[in-house]
Copies of this chain bind each other. A is one copy, B any other.
């Protein structure tokens, strides 16, 4: 190992937090961790949620008004987190609301390339309703993402 290199601190400079619509404990703790890091190291914070276009059940999926309602709800959730982060003193917070077919793909192929974070923060129980892949996104992204991932409990 290179001792010189190893002696350098490792600090994350751009933090991406994924949030779902549920206020579960791990999502709250993920928010608290992401805002602590962004605050203490003066890092820009992106707060991201994904509206899965195929998220809505077959009876609702063709109604534009239902989709608008759902989109407005996700935007409101993200806006609320952004506001709370700003109240905690994080200087640079960006809402990132995306739509697409599969939440993992949207985060990996669009959100990460767009926002260019070096750390992704997610709650252990963060998952998206009606996602085609069941279960929490954290461990999957910890495996597949090209950047560091923290799964918060």
Binding site for B on A (CB under 8 A): 1-3, 5-11, 23, 28-29, 31-33, 35-36, 39-40, 80, 84, 87-88, 124, 136, 138-140, 142-143, 145-153
Q: Given A124-B148, A149-B150, 13 other A-B contacts at CB below 8 A?
A: A1-B80, A5-B28, A6-B28, A6-B31, A6-B32, A7-B88, A8-B32, A9-B32, A9-B39, A10-B29, A10-B33, A10-B152, A150-B151
**Shortest distance from the beta carbon of A107 to any chain B beta carbon, whole Å:** 15
Partner of A84, one of B3, B32, B142: B3
Known: A6-B28, A8-B32. A142 touches B138 (CB 8 A): yes
Given A149-B150, A152-B148, A153-B146, the answer on whether A11 and B36 have CB atoms closer than 8 Å is yes
State the Cβ distance, A142 to closest chain B Cβ, in Å: 4
A6: chain B residues within 8 A (beta carbon): 28, 31-32, 84
